[in-house]
A and B are shown apart, each in its own frame.
Chain A
Amino acid sequence: MGFQVFVAFGPWNLLLLLVALECSEASSDLNESTNSTTRHEPNVQFAAASSEPDENIPVFVLDYDYVQIPYEVTLWILLASLAKIGFHLYRRLPGLMPESCLLIIVGALVGAIIFGTDHKSPPVMDSSIYFLYLLPPIVLESGYFMPTRPFFENIGSILWWAGLGALINAFGIGLSLYLICQIKAFGLSDVNLLQNLLFGSLISAVDPVAVLAVFEEARVNEPLYMMIFGEALLNDGISVVLYNILIAFTKMHKFEDIEPVDILAGCARFVIVGVGGVFFGIIFGFISAFITRFTQNISAIEPLIVFMFSYLSYLVAETLYLSGILAITACAVTMKKYVEENVSQTSYTTIKYFMKMLSSVSETLIFIFMGVSTVGKNHEWNWAFICFTLVFCQVWRAISVFALFYVSNQFRTSPFSIKDQCIIFYSGVRGAGSFSLAFLLPLSLFPRKKMFVTATLVVIYFTVFIQGITIGPLVRYLDVKKTNKKESINEELHIRLMDHLKAGIEDVCGQWSHYQVRDKFKKFDHRYLRKILIRKNLPKSSIVSLYKKLEMKQAIEMVETGILSSTAFSVPQLAQRIQGTKRLSPEDVESMRDLLTHNMYQVRQRTLSYNKYNLKPQTSEKQAKEILIRRQNTLRESMRKGHSLPWGEPAGAKNIRYLSFPYGHPQPASRHRRVAEFTDNDSSDSERPSIMFKEHSQRDLPQERYPTQEIIPMKSLYRGRKPTNFRYQRNTSQEEHVGQGRRAALRPKPLFRAVDEEYESGEESAEEASAIGPGWPPEHRPSREHHKSHSPLLRRK
């Protein structure tokens, strides 16, 4: 297996090298040729024709300068993408090292090539480009994918940890390094306090999310995830704010002139910048949410609105010297909830993917730059500075983690264990942020900039490679509590059952929150904000249409492959007669147990699954789909059969069919037929189609007129006679709480917003009940509406 994969990896490797060589060859060859032409004419395109009139018109001209920058940038990005493909092909790698490792290696490779071919790399990265174009997508992506409920639940701890932690780290490292610099022997005495502080602030910008993928499988609990996320989110913003303030200090004063007043002003500025940024972000978030309310007819511009408003918030904040990063983060967090419900399904997907794409492009470019900087001549290696930087980074992070968490644990109801704190400490991996800030230090103010850059690079390489690779085993080591004792099949099965049961009961109990503020916000949100910001009468409830899409797909699959065909059901009757069944060999038992383990559904995880570099189709989504569809099918089947529960309950008034109850002998053929019929019945009303299931009512309908699959538009639903007429409105009820278009059940992330439904469903049903038609239309035959319209359902805008 390993060899096979290696072989697969091999060709990619070769491909990478080929591409790289090609690029360098091309560039170095063309350098000479274009250099000569540029000497004559600035406008190279017409050079050949006009500058040397006595030559023939060349048939073939190469114009490299014209495309140099975009060409090389594109090549780099492609190279990184190919490397990522190779990385993921070899399945074990992503679990071993974070993807940033890969990007750094690619960057170093490109740097080596550029250095080797003596090519002048295009000056793509300078201060304005970084801050205006490269940084916002990265921050936007991390803000957008932040799961809001856990974030706000832990917001106290997160602010305390991220804010104070960044400050402590920055000042701690800066001051310690300053003290080191005072020691004459190291030759660093020209680095003054401000410069050290600045260095401290930029080196404390961590990127812990990069390592999350590595220890994802170890069940990291939700609060821990949130701390890491929250830190990553706020850390960049705080570092940049500090950085800017300190640069301003450096510019304005010589060190000796700084008075306490200035320091106070600096602190005040810090707070204002932070809070102001957040404020602007929230405003822009609301504006963009409001605008998406009206875009139902041109859904193609919805992603545009989302991105432009976020970017605008960043720019406006930057104009006012507020923190653009915090602004764009706040904008993303605010608008996400409402935008998700307003935009169409495809726009939602587009937004997600585009965000990932933009942020990964930015990050790739930054890492390439890092690589280019690494392999080069502009380094200044100072042993003392670099070593002490490394040491102090770890030391101060440890101090800040343990001290701050000790304090915040006193106030938390679920304190973080030492193990959690160790994980947080060890996940202090530096990333693209620190490098960019170091790279962009103005040389005029920092004569020893090269040393800073070198030190930053060393810290990044060290933390990413060494910490990144070892954090996986460390977490697994810390996490190992269960013994490796093999459990019997019984134990496996029953334990899994109990896990599901526990998860189910927890869901029944609902989410818990201590924060009165949050509850109040929810009420306010529901009463006012949603009315303003969410579309009225969402014409298509995406979950229902998605659901129907899935069902049709499932139905088609079933017809084609007969996956759920249960012909084997007759066999067990015989097998049961055979007492003392065959003795299974241990290997059989083993394989059986493995089979069971691998195929049982996972318990719904409350912890989040976030991958910075990829939007994986969630396996839990697939599982959820299977479960939902199976329920739907078995329910339909059982209702169609009309079997009463086998232990003799009268098929009377209150027979409610439940999926998991046995319904006698299923007949796969008829089920398929029934399903096919169902698909035929898809009505033309794409407006809120809902599937109505009506079981035996007191009127005792005859079987043939049993309208099991009926799609009736929401408007004509009649919910009369509630207590006795047990209308099984499962999809309707799903619609109620999803009525605003939340893709609740089928997307793992919004599942954590169960509390919302408390408020929504109540109002929805009230509205609905009042909008009833005059009467429940008499039993419709399923054949009444044959609108053969698969397309309206599949066709989303």
Chain B
Amino acid sequence: MVHDHDFKGHLHGDNFQISLVSHSQITRLYSRFTSLDKGENGTLSREDFQRIPELAINPLGDRIINAFFPEGEDQVNFRGFMRTLAHFRPIEDNEKSKDVNGPEPLNSRSNKLHFAFRLYDLDKDDKISRDELLQVLRMMVGVNISDEQLGSIADRTIQEADQDGDSAISFTEFVKVLEKVDVEQKMSIRFLH
């Protein structure tokens, strides 16, 4: 395939750190990209993502799809696709030492957490408000919980995490709450078996 070479070079050039994904992984992901791209115009739209049946029954399906699209756009090209996926690359040991020099890689712990944070925080004000939390809770929970209970769960969640008393969870608070959780492992995907 000719294309992946182009992309790889492109990625190198743009210094997106996606170049650390191996060649075969890029090839594989590119073929996945093209198979999803029904319109064959080199970009994916939201409908293309919605055709994936497992995403349809993922409670957070739509938000995940939305995470692929940059602000206000409705098409994502392969570079954008890879950029999002790069967040999920496992953190290799030899990278940890390289950290000091260049920009922070996309798959650092902080960036991974930020990705998850953005699933909650739709209005991008760097805070998870009670409403935003409630929405996500509602999506993730079955029909057996009443709204009052959900509300009190949301309250409790904010109460636990909130340190500066603004009844919202900021990104720093979010990071603090999850400090004991192995985020690197939870948000990493091995791109090749």
Residues of A within 8 A of B (CB): 413-414, 488-491, 493-510, 512, 514, 563-564, 566-569, 571-572, 575-576, 579, 581, 584, 589, 592, 595-596, 599-601, 604, 623-624, 626-628, 630-631, 646-647, 649, 654, 656, 658-662, 722-723, 726, 728-730, 733-734, 736-738, 744-745, 751, 754, 757-759, 761-762, 765
In the complex the two chains form, is B153's CB within 8 Å of A656's CB? no
In the complex the two chains form, is B155's CB within 8 Å of A581's CB? yes
Query: How far does the Cβ of A531 sit from chain B's closest Cβ, in whole Å?
Result: 20
In the complex the two chains form, is B53's CB within 8 Å of A569's CB? no
In the complex the two chains form, is B56's CB within 8 Å of A601's CB? no
B74 within 8 A of partner (CB): yes
In the complex the two chains form, is B160's CB within 8 Å of A728's CB? no
**Chain B residue at smallest Cβ distance from A507:** B54
B66 within 8 A of partner (CB): yes
Query: How far does the Cβ of A234 sit from chain B's closest Cβ, in whole Å?
Result: 23
Query: How far does the Cβ of B86 sit from chain A's closest Cβ, in whole Å?
Result: 11
17 new A-B contacts at CB < 8 Å, known A489-B157, A626-B143, A754-B53: A490-B177, A491-B180, A491-B181, A494-B178, A494-B181, A505-B85, A507-B54, A507-B55, A568-B148, A624-B57, A627-B59, A628-B57, A630-B139, A646-B123, A647-B122, A723-B41, A734-B56
Residues of B within 8 A of A (CB): 28-29, 32, 35-36, 38-39, 41, 45-47, 49-66, 68, 72, 74, 85, 88, 115-116, 119-120, 122-123, 130-131, 134-137, 139-149, 151-157, 159-161, 165, 167, 174, 177-178, 180-181, 183, 186-189, 191-193
In the complex the two chains form, is A745's CB within 8 Å of B53's CB? yes
In the complex the two chains form, is A500's CB within 8 Å of B153's CB? no
Contacts of B161 in A (CB 8 A): 490
**Chain B residue at smallest Cβ distance from A412:** B193
In the complex the two chains form, is B142's CB within 8 Å of A599's CB? yes
Interface of A is mostly: helix
Query: How far does the Cβ of B99 sit from chain A's closest Cβ, in whole Å?
Result: 22
Complex Cα distance, B190 from A413, in Å, reads 12
> Which residue in A500, A506, A723, A758 is a CB contact (below 8 Å) of B189?
A506
> Which residue in B36, B51, B54, B157 is a CB contact (below 8 Å) of A493?
B157
Complex Cα distance, B68 from A780, in Å, reads 34
Known contacts A509-B29, A660-B139, A761-B51; A595/B62 CB under 8 A: no
> Which residue in A503, A599, A728, A765 is a CB contact (below 8 Å) of B141?
A599
In the complex the two chains form, is A568's CB within 8 Å of B151's CB? yes
Contacts of A604 in B (CB 8 A): 54, 57-58
In the complex the two chains form, is A501's CB within 8 Å of B64's CB? yes
In the complex the two chains form, is A576's CB within 8 Å of B51's CB? no
Counting from the closest, the 8 A-B pairs by CB-CB distance are A568-B147, A758-B35, A624-B57, A507-B54, A504-B64, A744-B53, A745-B53, A490-B177
Query: How far does the Cβ of A36 sit from chain B's closest Cβ, in whole Å?
Result: 65
In the complex the two chains form, is B53's CB within 8 Å of A751's CB? yes
In the complex the two chains form, is A660's CB within 8 Å of B28's CB? no
Complex Cα distance, B152 from A691, in Å, reads 37
Complex Cα distance, B28 from A738, in Å, reads 24
> Which residue in A501, A564, A569, A745 is a CB contact (below 8 Å) of B56?
A745
In the complex the two chains form, is B178's CB within 8 Å of A491's CB? yes
Contacts of A761 in B (CB 8 A): 38, 51
Contacts of B191 in A (CB 8 A): 509, 512
> Which residue in B39, B58, B159 is a CB contact (below 8 Å) of A500?
B58
Could you list 18 examples of A-B contacts with CB < 8 Å?
A490-B178, A491-B180, A494-B174, A495-B186, A499-B186, A509-B32, A512-B28, A512-B191, A512-B192, A579-B165, A581-B155, A596-B153, A604-B54, A627-B61, A631-B61, A659-B62, A738-B53, A758-B36
Contacts of B36 in A (CB 8 A): 758
In the complex the two chains form, is B143's CB within 8 Å of A564's CB? yes
In the complex the two chains form, is A504's CB within 8 Å of B50's CB? no
Complex Cα distance, B57 from A501, in Å, reads 12
Contacts of B180 in A (CB 8 A): 491
In the complex the two chains form, is B66's CB within 8 Å of A658's CB? yes
In the complex the two chains form, is B51's CB within 8 Å of A734's CB? yes
Q: Which of B58, B116, B187 has the most CB of A within 10 A?
A: B58
Known contacts A498-B186, A762-B38; A601/B32 CB under 8 A: no
> Which residue in A488, A493, A502, A567 is a CB contact (below 8 Å) of B88?
A502
